[in-house]
Amino acid sequence: MPWILLFPLLPLFAQAATVAAPAVEARNWLLIDMQSGLTLTEKDADQRAEPASLTKLMTSFLVHQAIKEGRLKLGQEINVSENAWRAEGSRMFLPLNQPAKVSDLLLGMIVQSGNDATIALAEAVAGSEAAFAIQMNAAARKLGMKNSHFVNATGLPAPEHYTTARDLALLTQALIRTFPDDYKHYAVKEFTHNRIRQSNRNRLLWLDPHADGVKTGHTDSAGYCLIASMQRDGRRLLSVVMGAQSDAARARESLKLLNWGYQSFENVKLYAAQQPVKTLRVWRGSDNEVHAGFFGDLFVTVPRGQGGKVSARISYKAPLLAPVAMGQRIGSLHVSADGTSLVDYPLVALGAVPTAGVMKRGLDSMLLMFE
């Protein structure tokens, strides 16, 4: 059945010509406005790359999930295995066969980037690091990370261990939104365990008071990587920089991207959460109508100060037949500026419409013949 364009909405907001992005000294990068979900700039964001310790964000995601589900507890003590104790690379310096609290291991992984803490947590969740990697790949598929594959929990180099800047952005957004109370750990500047104090390698935590995460990574082959996020004036931006030449460069280039995003763009609210954007006719249902809209506030990102020319229109498949489930996609909101398409948002049913009884279904079927 054809898509029917219902009506153009009144002009809302504007986007001017594309804002020139800064030159970034890295192999891959991406900048996203989390409030609107729009990408502001990118380079080779879908190119496979070695994630190094950015991998630990997936490990952290699964550990937080295990804690949320009660399979692991923050105060729980677990023994450090020889496999964890012998971990290469950055370490928390855990003593062999001695207990460590899950809460300490989390900070050791997030703040100190300790591979020993990471492996210990992976073993606590799945029994072994290999079994944990299976869970990592399952979670990646569920999150829509289409170009990622993990073979370990730490990010140590391996031929089949890879991801992309875009996939890492998806993962980080899911981490921030799913575990908002735990996200505060990523802003911790230093952590001391067994009298050994180590600083967070994310320089942005010292350079900008709005920065509150997220994770660094480095190997000789991956280069210097940083996923950074900050919140200013209610807007959260997220940058992914991979393959920079130095620790200083990854911080500098990330801050350059974030500052450009805040200075060059602003967000405008299109619709409030649960606000009916359009009421659609439903056939063969217990109700004749259903409200279409969004469960969360809908924002669009536009160049700063450029208001007045953005418009939106709705499309949906007709006829809309019951049953209609709450949250079911029943149309699209097409946002454009000066005739140039910006983004399509899925319109969902804000309520449910069950199938009607036999008599009403029959009546609607007859009426449809004349529509």
pLDDT of residue 371: 74
99: β partners: 79
Interacting residues of 201 by C-beta distance below 8 A, sequence separation 6+: 113, 216, 247
The answer to whether 218 and 225 have CB atoms below 8 angstroms apart is yes
* 113 in active site: yes
Tokens (6 digits) for 243: 């393959």
pLDDT of residue 81: 96
Beta strands at 223-232 and 190-193: parallel, antiparallel or unpaired: unpaired
pLDDT of residue 18: 65
CATH 3.40.710.10 fits 28-244, yes or no: yes
* 53 in active site: yes
* 336 in active site: no
pLDDT of residue 341: 81
pLDDT of residue 14: 29
Question: What span, in angstroms and rounded, lies between the C-alpha atoms of 218 and 225?
Answer: 6
| Digitized pLDDT (tens) for each residue of the chain, 371 residues in all | 333 333 333 333 323 336 889 999 999 999 999 999 999 999 999 999 999 999 999 999 999 999 999 999 999 999 999 999 999 999 999 999 899 999 999 999 999 999 999 999 999 999 999 999 999 999 999 999 999 999 999 999 999 999 999 999 999 999 999 999 999 999 999 999 999 999 999 999 999 999 999 999 999 999 999 999 999 989 999 999 999 999 999 999 999 999 999 999 988 889 999 999 999 999 999 999 999 999 999 998 888 876 577 788 999 988 999 999 999 999 999 988 777 788 889 999 999 999 999 998 899 899 988 87
Nearest CA-CA partner of 154 in 188, 191, 182, 129: 129
| Residue limits of CATH 2.60.410.10 in the chain | 3-14+270-368
Q: Which of 56, 148, 239, 254 is catalytic?
A: 56
Go through 14-28 and write b for each residue having 16 or more CB atoms within 10 A of its CB, e for each that does not. Answer: bbeeebebeebbbbb
Beta strands at 28-33 and 39-43: parallel, antiparallel or unpaired: antiparallel
Q: Which of 81, 90, 113, 229 is catalytic?
A: 113
pLDDT of residue 339: 74
Max Cα–Cα distance, the chain, nearest Å: 80
Question: What span, in angstroms and rounded, lies between the C-alpha atoms of 103 and 109?
Answer: 10
CATH 3.40.50.1820 fits 3-14+270-368, yes or no: no
